[in-house]
Amino acid sequence: MFLVCFATIELHAQCDISITGRIVDEHDGSALSFASICIESSNKGTMSDDSGNYTLEGLCPDTIVLVCAHLGCETIRDTLVLTEDLVHDFNPEHHTEMLEGISVVEKGSKVSGMQTMSTLENPELHSGESLGEMLEDVPGLNSLSTGGAITKPMIHGLHSNRLLIWNNGVRQEGQQWGNEHAPELDPAIADEIQVIKGPAGVQYGPDAVGGVILIMPNSLPDKFGLGGSMIINGQLNGLGGSSSLILEGRSKKWSALRWRVQGSGKKIGDLNSPDYVLSNTGAEELNFSYAMSLTKEKAALNVFYSQFNTNLGILGASHIGNFTDLERAFNSSVPLEIQQFSYEVRRPYQHVEHELVKVNGTLETSENGKLELTYARQYNLREEFDRHRLSNPERPGLQFEIVTHSLDATHTQRNLGKHRLKTGISGLYQVNTFEGRFFIPGFRKWTGGLFAIDRWTSGSSIFEAGGRLDYVLQEVYLSEQSGFNKYDHRYLQPSLSLGLSKLIGENGKWKLNAGTCWRPPNVNELYSNGLHHGAATYEIGNRHLQAEVSYSLSSGFYYQSESWKLQVEPYVNYMRDFINLIPSFPATLTIRGAFPTFEFQQIDALLCGLDIQAEKSIVDWLKLKWSASILRARDLDAKDWLVQMPTDRSSLALSYEQIKGRYTLKLSPQLAWVNKQWRVPPASDYVAPPDGFFLVGFQSGVKREGKSGVTFLNIEINNLLNERYRSYLNRYRYFADEVGFNLKVRVGHRF
Asked, colleague to colleague, whether 17-87 and 107-211 share their fold, the answer is no
Distance in angstroms (rounded) separating the CA atoms of residues 199 and 194: 14
- Judge whether residue 27 has pLDDT over 80: no
Distance in angstroms (rounded) separating the CA atoms of residues 229 and 243: 11
Distance in angstroms (rounded) separating the CA atoms of residues 691 and 703: 39
pLDDT for 117 equals 65
Pair 529, 541: CB distance under 8 Å = yes
- Judge whether residue 726 has pLDDT over 60: yes
pLDDT for 116 equals 66
Read off the pLDDT of residues 200-226 as tens digits, 9 standing for 90 and up.
Answer: 889 898 889 998 998 888 888 888 899
Taking residues 283-311, report their average pLDDT: 94
| CATH class in words for 212-750 | mainly beta
pLDDT for 570 equals 95
Distance in angstroms (rounded) separating the CA atoms of residues 360 and 5: 43
Nearest Cα neighbor of 556 from 598, 593, 594, 513 is: 513
Distance in angstroms (rounded) separating the CA atoms of residues 606 and 632: 8
pLDDT for 352 equals 95
Please state whether beta strands 17-22 and 86-87 pair in parallel, antiparallel, or not at all (unpaired). parallel
Average pLDDT, the chain: 87
- Judge whether residue 259 has pLDDT over 70: yes
- Judge whether residue 147 has pLDDT over 80: no
Nearest Cα neighbor of 358 from 303, 293, 288, 428 is: 303
- Judge whether residue 100 has pLDDT over 60: no
Three-class secondary structure of residue 330 per DSSP? helix
Taking residues 435-446, report their average pLDDT: 92
Spatial neighbors of 211 by CB under 8 A, at least 6 apart, are 155, 156, 158, 163, 164, 195, 196, 197, 198, 199, 200
| 562 or 652, which is more confident | 652
CATH topology of domain 17-87: Immunoglobulin-like (2.60.40)
- Judge whether residue 738 has pLDDT over 50: yes
Read off the pLDDT of residues 496-526 as tens digits, 9 standing for 90 and up.
Answer: 999 998 888 888 889 999 999 999 999 999 9
In which region does residue 653 sit, left (phi positive, over 0), alpha (psi from -120 to 50) or beta (all else)? Answer: beta
Distance in angstroms (rounded) separating the CA atoms of residues 350 and 313: 7
Share of the chain above pLDDT 70, in %: 91
Lowest mean pLDDT among 13-17, 271-275, 454-458, 710-714: 13-17
Residue 108: pLDDT band by 50, 70, 90 thresholds? very low
Lowest mean pLDDT among 56-70, 249-263, 284-298, 307-321: 56-70
pTM of the model: 0.83
Lowest mean pLDDT among 42-46, 92-96, 474-478, 743-747: 92-96
- Judge whether residue 34 has pLDDT over 80: no
Nearest Cα neighbor of 458 from 22, 49, 739 is: 49
pLDDT for 1 equals 34
For residue 575, with 0-12 CB atoms within 10 Å meaning exposed, 13-18 middle and 19 or more buried, which class applies? buried
pLDDT for 221 equals 87
Read off the pLDDT of residues 614-667 as tens digits, 9 standing for 90 and up.
Answer: 999 999 899 999 999 999 999 999 999 999 999 999 999 999 999 888 899 999
pLDDT for 661 equals 86
- Judge whether residue 724 has pLDDT over 70: yes
- Judge whether residue 54 has pLDDT over 70: yes
Residue type, 394: E
* Helices assigned H by DSSP within 275-397: 323-331
Task: State which H helix or E strand residue 524 sits in.
Answer: helix 523-527
| 219 or 338, which is more confident | 338
Homologous superfamily, domain 107-211: TonB-dependent receptor, plug domain (2.170.130.10)
Read off the pLDDT of residues 127-145 as tens digits, 9 standing for 90 and up.
Answer: 777 787 788 878 888 888 8
Distance in angstroms (rounded) separating the CA atoms of residues 21 and 8: 24
Lowest mean pLDDT among 62-76, 91-105, 111-125, 365-379: 91-105
750: β partners: 229, 710
Taking residues 91-120, report their average pLDDT: 46
Distance in angstroms (rounded) separating the CA atoms of residues 408 and 428: 9
Secondary structure tally for the chain: helices H, strands E: 4, 42
Read off the pLDDT of residues 441-487 as tens digits, 9 standing for 90 and up.
Answer: 999 999 999 999 998 888 888 899 999 999 999 999 998 887 889 99
Read off the pLDDT of residues 341-351 as tens digits, 9 standing for 90 and up.
Answer: 999 998 889 99
- Judge whether residue 414 has pLDDT over 90: no
pLDDT for 628 equals 96
Domain boundary assignment for the chain: 17-87, 107-211, 212-750
> Nearest 5°: phi and psi at 93?
-90, 115
Distance in angstroms (rounded) separating the CA atoms of residues 645 and 631: 8
